[in-house]
Structures are given as structure tokens and as C-alpha cells.
Amino acid sequence: MEISPQLKVMPEKPYDHSHIELKWHERWQNASFYQADEHSDKPKYYVLEMLPYPSGTLHIGHIRNYSIGDALARYKWMRGFNVLHPMGWDAFGLPAENAAIANKRPPRDWTLQNIAAMKKTHRRFAFSYDWNREVSTCEPEYYRWNQWFFLKMLERGLAYRKRALLNWCSKCATVLANEQVVEGCCWRHEDTPVEQRALEQWFLKITDYADQLLDEIKGLEGGWPERVLTMQRNWIGRSEGAEIDFRLEGAETRIRVFTTRVDTIYGATCVILAPEHPLNETLLDDAGKARAKAMVDSRANRDPGDIEKEGFFSGHYAVNPYSGERVPIWVGNFVLMGYGTGAIMAVPAHDERDHEFCQKYGIHIRPVIRPVDGTLATDTSKPAFTDDGVLENSGPWSDLGSEEARAKMSAYAQEKGFGKAAITYRIKDWGISRQRYWGTPIPVIHCPSCGVVPVPEDQLPVVLPERIEITGSGRSPLENVPEFVNVKCPHCGEPAKRETDTMDTFMDSSWYFYRYCDPHNDRMPFDPAKVAYWFEIDQYIGGVEHAILHLIYSRFFTKVMRDIGLVKNSEPARRLFTQGMVIAEGAKMSKSKGNVVGADMLAEKFGADTARMFVLFAAPPEKEVDWRSEGAEGIYRFLGRVYRFATRNVGQTGDGSVTGSADRKVLRKLHQTVQKITEDFETRWHFNTCIAGIMELMNVLYAEEANLSASVKPEILEKLALLLAPFAPYVSQEIWEELGKEGPVFRQCWPSFDPELAKEEEAEIPVQVNGKLRSKIYAAFGTPKEELERRALADEKVRPFLAGKQLKKVIVIPDKLVNLVAG
């Protein structure tokens, strides 16, 4: 019996994710579809996800990050871009060292094993990385360039050594950068208060770039999330004001204060020093010194809002250089040594904190600023007036406006030599020395006669010795490695000692994305021409937790590299996307809670396609997502629906001729879906609604399946596979093969849509009476207003609502809506 091709029915296949994913995993093992090429004539696109720390396992949070990036990378490939999509490992760092102490295993072994395990998971998820460009920061081929950058900065005076009070975490047994201190505690040990220790350390002069880092934020607006930019602005914390010297009464000593309100200085009724202020050594008696020390200690690890302002009179007086007035010098716990000059002038009438302090201790409160449209305050028990205004009781400056007074008064201070206009920043130089083993050795040598001598460039890398004892004792373990420490001075040839501290690992991640452009270069960190081709990064994707640390350091590095002449760009990434966190069943994922959702488990249970698609479907990518396995089952069911539909409808041949209303309906939905997803990729990345769109398309296909002509099926299935390719590479590839097509599906052209076919045949026009929906009319697009109005008024569902009322107004928005206003 002959079967007409129209009726040919293929047996559907069940969706077996493990079979499909294993099959393609094996076939793709040695494939090289994802190689980027600097010589391509296609437009370039550099998409980058933040590189992970090799902790050993990928979890659902990583999967989210990479699924967003991978969807974009695949889409851009399909749109004909030459895509660079690399991956690497932020492989130095403390966990490896701690694991080494716990398990008696060298950090390198532990790290490499973790990398291997995570890379396996990466491949299982089929993320489209160019693994030929893999970078691992713990390899000498990489970190020698950290050392090289350090030497370049040393040459330019951007790296320097000084003794300073530094943040010390006793659990990490190392110094921390200011950026690594979170609410007075270590960023990795949130229960461990940071101590202050005086140590000789290496610093990078990020403050030299503070203004640039601030100013160039403007150029990132629109491309970076506003809140990241705000956080960076606040972190840099630029503040314009003046530095003014108060003379210590009866001495030549000057006490320098920083103020943003020099216009209020005639209201300064005392000077307050930070408890750590160096002058306290000479000013205070032993009892005073003890009180100051107690203040410092009691301040540690406390919420500043909870600490009551305290202070005591030092017994000394200072002289206001403008008024000549003699004011008492106090020591106050709310004055910070780390900001400004560590000393303030207190103007209680015009500053809330000063007011609180002076009120408490009965220090005179003297108003000197009146509101522009008011009079000078007389009731000094009232809260401080902190706005700008007009000066009074301020000698020759009286009656000036605050702003004008500030300019003139700081100029006067400069002229008279007791001060100047000054800008302070909250951001501090970046302390990079770490007293730990598993990091990049700092390439300098300490010579008894020549001092600090840089290791000559041709002797790089300074290789980190392997197989040594890790102590975690608070001193670098390298100190106990004589063959590392004992060297000859490169200058004089006499015995000298090598620096044993290692670099903060944020150095490693500050420039890794440049290395991807030229990962095997052994003469330079990278070929500037290659970087010029790929940079700036077109899209950087990562967690918002790096908004200040990594992202400000990398901006700094880029500017230094630009000044060295290595790169032309001044910012690393044109666009930044920060994805939301993944939480598990309502709680933040953490090892201690034991609710970490591991990527391998997901791949096992649901398949990589389902796991990827679910994290994209559950919410828009910038929002937090709650992982729930019932939700993932929904995606699994959906992929099964797609796969079964495809397998039972393949093998149809047809000329694409459209014969029935079902054909038209399905094609319309298909083209609408292509249009929607295309627009979304180009603008706002709401992959959740993209996937919902494909689901809607599937629902229409199921509803109309029996009425579809064979001739339209090939186009439908082909576009369906292509639409799924950025989200679910395995299933889409399997369908592609079922269709008898060759090659990787994600190297095909992105499907096109026909706006004409996507258009609805008729407009569905709601008819409202007084703003409430009462009926709907259907009319061809472009039906004139009068016609729509006439039909709306004649509508029998509408008429009862108009009965007995006067029609006052008719609003007609063609193709959209009719609203009849009656009363």
C-alpha cells in the first residue's frame, strides 16, 4: 500500500538527555569550532565571563554566569561575528594553601586537580570556549608577566614600599587590602575582626589614578550597571576642601586639619585629633595615651552607628589661623586616622557630628552661617545647620556666600602659608604584599648595600619554589627556603636576600583578559596588535560582588598599561553585565548549609541543557534566582516536548507552500518568535521571556500539529533548532542531525524572520466604556478612526453600558483601543 508523503508519520523518539548529551560530548571532544581568529574579516566580538577560582566544583551560580555568556557568544557566532570567548583559572590564592596545610598536599597539586575536575564539568556543559587560549594564573608563563608589570610600575614610581598600619587577618595570616575588609572583618572570614599591624609593605599608587578612575566613569554610563558606577564613585570618594594648619599654642608645631567647610572656620570651637594621631605621643601624658589606646581598641569591629562619641581634653590649645582664636585640643574616638589628616576642626553649629560631640562635653557652640533667606541661629541646642548659607561673625569674610567664601579663604590660606585648597580621596594606595606562599613572588632583592634592587627583566620569572613546607604562621613560608632567599645582588654581586612576600591575587586577575588575546607569548605579556584588534571587551559578565575590588583594579591596570604604551584603550570593558545571585530553595548557597547545587549533579539528573535553560528561564538575568528542582523539571518536560515533536515530524519534504489556516497561524507564531528573540538578544537579554516565547510556539505547534501541511514542516523544525541553539546546544544539535543537516548547529546562520509573515491578520481592538473593558472588535490594520468608532458604538455588548447616558468623548487609538466616555 502506498502512503502519501503528506501522511508519512515518523515514530517519535523519547527524550533521553543522557544519551544525547553523551553522544555529542564525545563527538565534540576534539572539535575546534570555537577558535577565534585575529585574521578574520568578520567583525570581532569579545565576550567574557569572569574567570573562576578553582575551588574544585562548579555550582549553579557558575552555570548561570556561563549560560548567559554562552547564549550571547553562540548568538553572535550565528550572527556572523568573529567571537572571542575564552576561559581560565584564577589559580593562586589562600584556599589552596589552607588545603595544603590540612591535607599535606602541595597547593599546586590541589589546584591542578581542581582545574581538571572543573574543566571536565565545563566541557560537559558544552560552553563554547576557545580552550586553546586557556590561562591559568599560577603558571610561571603567566605570572612572570605579573612580575614584569610590577617592575614597570616600580620604574614609573607607581610601586613603592613603606611602613604602614595595615589590615591583618589572623585566620588568613596575612595582610589584606582595604578593599578586602568588609565591615571591619576579613572578606573571607566574616567573623574575624581585622587587626592593625605596622609592616613594611609594597603599595601600588592607585591614588595617582583616582581622578581618572572617577572621571572616566562617565564614559561607562549606559554600558555598565548604574549601581556599579555609583559604588565605584563612592569608593574613590573624592572630596574637595581645604587643609588648614592650626598652630599648637606655645610651640611651632602645626596641626593640619582637612575640612570641606572652611567657610565655617570662625565657628570652630575646638580641634579634635584621632586617637592614633602621631601628635598624641608628645601632647598626651601617660594616662591620656592609655585612654587613646583604649579608644582604638573599643572601636575595632563595631558598627560605627552604635559607638557613642567620646573624647577628652588633651590639656593643650591650638590657634585658629584666621581668627587668632585659642581653641582647646581634644582627642575624639569618631575622628579617623585613615581619612584626611586624622585631625579635624570641630564646628558644632554646622556639623551634626561635631554638634553631638560638643553638646555632650559642653564645648562652646557658635553659629557663623545664616540661611540665605533667614537669620543666624540663636538656639544652639537645635540640630546643626549644615547647608550652605551666608557668613556672619567671620571677620573680613562676613556676608560672603559659602561657596565664594570657601574659594577665597583657601586662596588666602595658601597666600599666607598656613593651608591650601585640597582634595582628599577615600581610596588608598593598593597594598599588594601578602605573607603567604601560593602567589606570585614579588621580583625584588634586598641588598645590604644597594637597598631594594629590582630583579632584572631578563631574569624573570622569579619562579615560586615547589615542594616546600607550608606553615600558615604569619610569615611567608618562602623565608624558610634558603635557595630561594639567598641570592647575589644584581647590582654589586654581594650576598643579598630575595623578597619573600607574594602578590595579592587581585594582581593576577587585573589583566588576565589581555592575555587571552595572545596566551602563549613568551616575549611580552601580549602582542599589542592582537590586543588592539580584540579590545575593548564588548561584553563582560560576572557577579556584582566584584563591583569594587576586581573591577576597579582592572580599570587601574588598563590605564597604567595605556600609559606604558601597551594598549590603546583606556577602559577594559565597554559593557558590563552583573548577573543576580542564585540561591537554593530559598537560602543563600553555602558549604556550611550544605545546600550547594553542584553542576555535575544537575548534568546527571536533568542534563546540561535543562540546567542551563532553567537558570535563564527562572528570572531575568540581573535578578536573583531561586533554584528549585520542580522548576527544572518543567524545562525538562519542555525539551522533551520539543524533541518528540521534532522526531515525529522530520523527514517531510516540501516546497514551503502554505495551504491552510493552521499553516499560516503556525508560521506567524514562528516568525514572531524569531523576531522577539532576535530583538531581545540585541537589547535587553530577557532570556526568560525568550524561552517563554519558544514555549508558546511549541504550544501552538502541538495544537495545530494535525492540521499542518508537510510542506511547511522543514522550515519550522529548522528554525526551531536554530532558536534553541544558544540555550540548549545538545538538543538543538540532535534535532539538527535528525533533520539530516550537516555541521554544528551553532555555526549556522541565525534564522531570519519576515515581518509581513509575523504580522497578525487583524487587529484585536478592546472597546472600553469609561476605561473598563466591555467588548472587543476585530478590524484590519489601519482601519480609520471613524470606522472603529462607529463599530464600537454599534457593538451589542457595549450598548447596554451606554444606555441612558450621554456620550461625552470618544478616544480611538487606531489598531490599539477604543474608549467611550459616557456619563
Partner RNA sequence: GGCGGGAUGGCGAAAUCGGCAGACGCAUUGGACUUAAAAUCCAAUGGACCGCAAGGUCCGUGUGGGUUCAAUUCCCACUCCCGCUACCA
Q: How far is the CB of 255 from RNA (least distance, A)?
A: 13
Query: Apex CA 776: angle with CA 770 and CA 777, to 5°?
Result: 120
Rg (CA), the chain: 34
Is the separation of the CB atoms in 310 and 356 below 8 Å? no
According to CB under 7 A, which residues from 397 to 426 bind RNA? 424, 426
List the x/- string, 89-118, binding to RNA by CB under 7 A: ------------------------------
Is the separation of the CB atoms in 620 and 577 below 8 Å? no
Of 96 and 262, nearer to RNA (C-beta) is: 262
Q: How far is the CB of 234 from RNA (least distance, A)?
A: 6
Tell which one of 458, 466, 772, 782 touches RNA (CB under 7 A): 772
27, 33, 34, 37: CA torsion to nearest 10: 150
Tell which one of 375, 378, 683, 806 touches RNA (CB under 7 A): 683
DSSP label at 469? -
Tell which one of 155, 183, 404, 754 touches RNA (CB under 7 A): 183
Contact window for RNA (CB under 7 A) among 45-53, 316-324, 637-645, 716-724: 637-645
Written in H, E and C, the secondary structure of 102-130 is HHCCCHHHHHHHHHHHHHHHHHHCCCCCC
According to CB under 7 A, which residues from 256 to 315 bind RNA? 258-261, 274, 303-305, 307-309
Q: Is 6 in the site for RNA (CB under 7 A)?
A: no
Other Cβ atoms less than 10 A from the Cβ of 774: the count is: 19
Tell which one of 151, 255, 635, 735 touches RNA (CB under 7 A): 635
Contact window for RNA (CB under 7 A) among 61-69, 522-530, 557-565, 676-684: 676-684
Q: Is 648 in the site for RNA (CB under 7 A)?
A: no
Query: Apex CA 476: angle with CA 473 and CA 479, to 5°?
Result: 115
Tell which one of 90, 351, 734, 795 touches RNA (CB under 7 A): 351
Of 144 and 669, nearer to RNA (C-beta) is: 669
> Which cell numbers hold the place of 261?
567647610
Of 363 and 455, nearer to RNA (C-beta) is: 363
For residue 488, CA distances in Å to 151, 166, 213, 462 come to 18, 30, 40, 14
Of 497 and 665, nearer to RNA (C-beta) is: 665
According to CB under 7 A, which residues from 527 to 586 bind RNA? 544-545, 547-548
DSSP label at 454? E
Of 116 and 411, nearer to RNA (C-beta) is: 411
Tell which one of 223, 288, 634, 654 touches RNA (CB under 7 A): 634
Q: Where are the alpha helices (DSSP H) in 237-306?
A: 280-283, 286-299
Q: Is 768 in the site for RNA (CB under 7 A)?
A: yes
> Which cell numbers hold the place of 546?
566584584
Q: Is 811 in the site for RNA (CB under 7 A)?
A: yes
Helix axes 60-78, 608-617, angle to 10 degrees: 90
Is the separation of the CB atoms in 582 and 60 below 8 Å? yes
Tell which one of 300, 692, 749, 807 touches RNA (CB under 7 A): 692
Q: Is 25 in the site for RNA (CB under 7 A)?
A: no
Q: Is 433 in the site for RNA (CB under 7 A)?
A: no
Q: Is 338 in the site for RNA (CB under 7 A)?
A: yes
Q: Is 766 in the site for RNA (CB under 7 A)?
A: yes
Contact window for RNA (CB under 7 A) among 63-71, 404-412, 484-492, 686-694: 686-694
Q: Give the residue from 763, 771, 809, 812 showing the smallest Cα distance to 792.
A: 812
Q: Is 633 in the site for RNA (CB under 7 A)?
A: yes
**Cβ neighbours for 35, distance < 8 A, ≥ 6 positions apart:** 130, 132
Phi and psi angles of residue 281, each rounded to the nearest 5 degrees, phi first: -55, -40
Determine the size of the site formed for RNA (CB under 7 A).
92
Of 268 and 470, nearer to RNA (C-beta) is: 268
Q: Is 335 in the site for RNA (CB under 7 A)?
A: yes
Helix axes 226-236, 549-564, angle to 10 degrees: 80
According to CB under 7 A, which residues from 215 to 244 bind RNA? 226-227, 230-231, 234-235, 237, 239, 241
Of 414 and 471, nearer to RNA (C-beta) is: 414
Tell which one of 301, 323, 689, 709 touches RNA (CB under 7 A): 689
Q: How far is the CB of 361 from RNA (least distance, A)?
A: 13
Helix and strand numbers, DSSP H then E, in the chain: 25, 34
Of 498 and 676, nearer to RNA (C-beta) is: 676
- 442 Ramachandran zone, left/alpha/beta (phi>0; psi -120 to 50): beta
Tell which one of 93, 275, 340, 461 touches RNA (CB under 7 A): 340
Is the separation of the CB atoms in 45 and 84 below 8 Å? yes
Q: Is 360 in the site for RNA (CB under 7 A)?
A: no
Q: How far apart are CA 368 and CA 390, in angstroms?
A: 8
Q: How far is the CB of 718 from RNA (least distance, A)?
A: 21
